[in-house]
Amino acid sequence: MVSSQFRQKLGTRLGKRRHTKYKPGILRLGLGLLLILVGAFLALPVLSLFLKSYAGFSLQTLKDPMVVDALSLSLFTSAFTVVVVVLLGTPISYVNSRFDYPGKEVIDSLIELPVVMPPAVAGIALLMAFGRMGVLGQYMNAWGLSIAFTTLAVVVAQVFVSAPFYLRQARISFEDVDLVYEEAARTLGATPVYAFFHVTMPIALNGLISGAIMTFARALGEFGATIMFAGNFQGRTQTMPLAIYTAMQGDLDVSLCLALILVALSFVVIALVKMFTRRRIPRHVRN
Amino acid sequence: MLEIDLHKRLRDFDLDAKFQTEDGEILMLVGDNGCGKTTILNMIAGLLCPDSGEISLGGETLFSSDFNVNLSPEDRNVGYVFQNYALFPHMSVYDNVAFGLKARKHSKEEIGRRVEDQLKAAGLWEMRETKVIDISGGQKQRTALARALVIKPSLLLLDEPLSALDTRMQVLMRKELKEQILQCGVPSIIVTHNIRDVDALGDRLCFLDSGKIVFDGEAKEAIYEDILFKES
């Protein structure tokens, strides 16, 4: 009696399971459609850019003084920004990854701030700090040092908005390096500085390079803070995004040409970051 | 000779360690997980600072709270084989072994000669160019030992040097390890959980329980009296 009831119950349950409404085919189809939609949404603007510029693009556009000036200025300032950020950011990131100190939370928040701050706000903030009448700028101006609306201002704006990309990545990369490697190096006779340059940095190097590439990309695309703090003067402060904006009001071909160059650079950046991220030695392999 | 008398307050208990080790003697440091064995090694190596006490090695004071002496790890000349070997993953076998000599600014000729001798003695010369992430567990153990020995340390510390190896490899490596340590002729401290390690390698044994040394005597005596498995 009991066993037949049990069988009945079990049969009912199995029956329910057999008649479930779950249909994997429909779920797969839905997810596939979602992926296609998202992919199309992301790819369409880039493809459109290529299609539209193909019609009116000529090599002469590449020789346009506006394009040449913007491209050379952007590459120079972005490269300079990366050098500044790497030189100043590497020791800061290392200290933040290894040590606790009073006010560390505040410093961490300040490092993250430019990521969430609208670039235009960053531009005004920089102007209020380093502009002619700025908090620090007024004293610098008295000494004959003026930053705002110069090429240096472009670099300052780029450093301000792009530094968090390196600082964050570098910190993660250093945290990923097990402290035991530094300890081993020290017991073998290495000073802390020697251990840093010969052990910690090389192990973290691919992560650091990824961070530097992301910083370069962010600096290259910087618009809001630059136009507010450095202005839009061709050959002096007009970087590629600013030139695209300016050209849009006159010559669309120049604008499209600059946009294509930036898209091509973006693809190179993505490829490089992926390459260096893959080359990082996973922690489980190291141990 | 190594002499230590250390005190350090840990999270759950006070660590008190007092013992000495003669030149050429192998001291086995045994105890449960978290009883303070690795902490003692780290304090001797200078990676952790004791709260008070003294460490002297061959007549030189490495640490003394009374005299405010605390030599940095790079000045202690201690060879340390870490539990997971801590081989530098971006370097080859050769570069790992040469690291200590390069850091100590030895001449290129001397580095070449000493590393070659050490690698040949460890049977690693043929794979000197191989990255350490591509070698086997036994080869990693040999590389770590070679790296610690090539600097001609005044003291050798080994933290569970065989625990990452499979049982068969442990048997093979014990004999090899013993020979290399004896050739070195300096005091050695080996942290282990394995009674076979104690039997094959140890001259003396210190049994640590919650930061206190509850047995300090000959390794054979410890095994005979079943110290390792007695209820504390």
**B65-77 confidence digits (pLDDT tens):** 999 999 999 999 9
Asked whether residue A106 falls in the same domain as residue A51, the answer is: no
CA distance A218 to B18: 58
| Complex confidence, ipTM | 0.91
Nearest CB to B99; choose among A185, A281, A286: A185
Statement to judge: residues A146 and A204 lie in one domain: yes
Tell me: do A165 and A241 sit in the same domain: yes
Interface test with A, best of B80, B88, B134 (most A CBs within 10 A): B88
Give residue B56's pLDDT: 94
The answer to whether B103 contacts A189, with C-beta atoms less than 8 Å apart, is yes
The answer to the question of residue A282 being in a domain is yes
Residues A37 and A108 in one domain: no
* DSSP 8-state symbol, A233: -
Asked whether the beta carbons of residue B133 and residue A286 sit closer than 8 angstroms, the reply is yes
On whether both A198 and A262 belong to a single domain, the answer is: yes
- pLDDT above 70: residue B33: yes
**Of all residues in chain A, what percent carry a pLDDT higher than 70?**
87
**Which residues in chain B have their CB less than 8 angstroms from residue A187's CB?**
45-47, 73-74, 76, 78-80
* Judgement on whether residues A71 and A38 belong to the same structural domain of the protein: no
Nearest to B90 among A183, A187, A203 (CB): A203
Q: With an 8 Å Cβ cutoff, are B72 and A186 in contact?
A: yes
Distance CA B86, CA B170 (A): 19
Measured CA to CA, the distance from residue A122 to residue B205 in angstroms comes to 65
CB of B99 within 8 Å of any CB in chain A? yes
One domain, residues A243 and A143: yes
In this structure, are A124 and A254 located in the same domain?
yes
Domain-located, residue A229: yes
Question: Of B50, B46, B17, which is closest to residue B153 (Cα–Cα)?
Answer: B46
In chain A, how many domains are there? 2
A102 is in which domain, residue-wise? 59-286
Q: What is the pLDDT of residues B87-120, one digit of tens each?
A: 999 999 999 999 999 999 999 999 999 999 999 9
Question: With contacts defined as CB-CB under 8 Å, which chain B residues touch A188?
Answer: 74, 99-100, 103, 147-148, 151
Specify whether A94 is located in the same domain as A48: no
Whether A40 is covered by a domain: the verdict is yes
B74 and chain A in contact, CB less than 8 A: yes
Give the global pTM.
0.83
B26-31 and B14-21: which strand pairing?
A: unpaired
Do A92 and A32 lie in a common domain? no
Per CB-CB distance under 8 Å, the chain B contacts of A185 are 88, 99, 103
DSSP letter string, A122-152: HHHHHHHHHSTTSTTHHHHHHTT---TTSHH
Q: Which residues of chain A does B99 touch, with a Cβ-Cβ cutoff of 8 Å?
A: 185, 188, 190, 198
State whether residue B96 sits within 8 Å of chain A by CB: no
Task: Find the CB nearest B88 among A191, A199, A285.
Answer: A199
Size of interface A-B (CB pairs under 8 A): 71
CB within 8 Å: A183 and B82? yes
For A202, the closest chain B residue by CA position comes to B90
CA distance B93 to B45: 23
Distance, CA of B222 to CA of B229 (rounded, Å): 10
Confidence label for A281 from pLDDT (cuts 50, 70 and 90): low
Residues A95 and A236 in one domain: yes
Does residue A138 contact residue A166 with C-beta atoms inside 8 Å? Answer: no
**B147 chain-A contacts, CB cut-off 8 A:** 188
CA-based nearest residue to A222, from A109, A117, A137: A117
Sorted by sequence, the CB contacts under 8 Å of residue A153 that are 6+ apart come out as A126, A130, A147, A226, A229, A230, A231, A237
Domain assignment of residue A120, yes or no: yes
Whole-number Å distance between alpha carbons of A237 and B56:
64
User: Which carries the bigger pLDDT value, residue B55 or residue B168?
Assistant: B55
The reply to whether A217 falls in a domain is: yes
- Considering the domain boundaries, does residue A127 fall inside one? yes
Distance CA A60, CA B18 (A): 83
Residue A12 within any structural domain of the chain = no
What CATH number did the domain enclosing A234 receive?
Answer: 1.10.3720.10
Q: What is the mean pLDDT of chain A?
A: 87
pLDDT band of residue A60 (cuts 50, 70, 90) is confident
Shared domain check, A267 and A139? yes
Domain end marker among A5, A36, A56: A56
Q: Does B104 touch chain A (CB under 8 A)?
A: yes
- Does A2 reside within a domain? no
Q: DSSP H helical segments within chain B, as ranges? A: 37-45, 93-103, 108-121, 137-149, 167-184, 195-201, 219-224
